[in-house]
Structure 1
Amino acid sequence: MTRKSAILAGAAVLALATVTACAGYGGPYRNYGPPPAGVVYVTAPPPPPRTVIIPPRPSAASVWISGYWNWAGADFVWVDGRWDHNPPRPGAQWMPDNWVKTGKGWYRHPGRWK
């Protein structure tokens, strides 16, 4: 690998990591429909998404599932992202987890395949 291609590959990974880290919060104006059954409301917003370096894609069919903050009953806990090697169908897109602000507080809208 030449120095130029190594720099370009590093820049691409960094750009993807930045976009992935930023895709984690839904505002009050995004329409996610009704909250899932058994939703837990939290009074404080989650911490900012972590910036991560995404490891190299293991195969052409692999899809990156971004990390997210989960509520563990007393505090937020970071769940690391991972490569999924078995998307449900070719071309499926992963819609990342989002924290949604409502009048009752914040709730986590789990990630899902689209």
Structure 2
Amino acid sequence: MAISKPHAPARRRLLRAALPALASLAVLGSLAGCVTERVVVRQPAPAPPHQMVRNMPPPVHEDRGPAPAYGWNWVPGHWKWEGNDWFWVHGRWVQQPVPAMPPVIVEQITVTPAAHAYWVPGHWVWRFEGGGWVWMKGAWRG
């Protein structure tokens, strides 16, 4: 007995019926291949550490009173970084010329050296021994 081949329309119907089964086999085959493939998971880059700036407090109002004598000049009170915090240097009368405090120098804050570090901005400090305003550069502390 001879086996006859199906006609073209019948073959197409047979292929259409077999396609879902063939597709599921292809998916299973591709899943089996995942076992040997390397999966790369990209995590977002860590955020840069928060930059903490320890700005100086507002100036303290001081009543200087009258000069002790002719030729005495007032050095205004000002903040100075000392140890781990801002320290108020009280104003006082001195027997030397006292120019006005120069304008603040704007410094660029560099990259944080450690997560716990904090930036202390640069500031002017009066040197009573020798006299004159001296710029204290900003720096990372902590």
TM-score, scaled to structure 1: 0.48
Identify the structure with bigger relative contact order (alpha carbons < 8 Å, sequence gap 6+): 1
TM-score, scaled to structure 2: 0.40
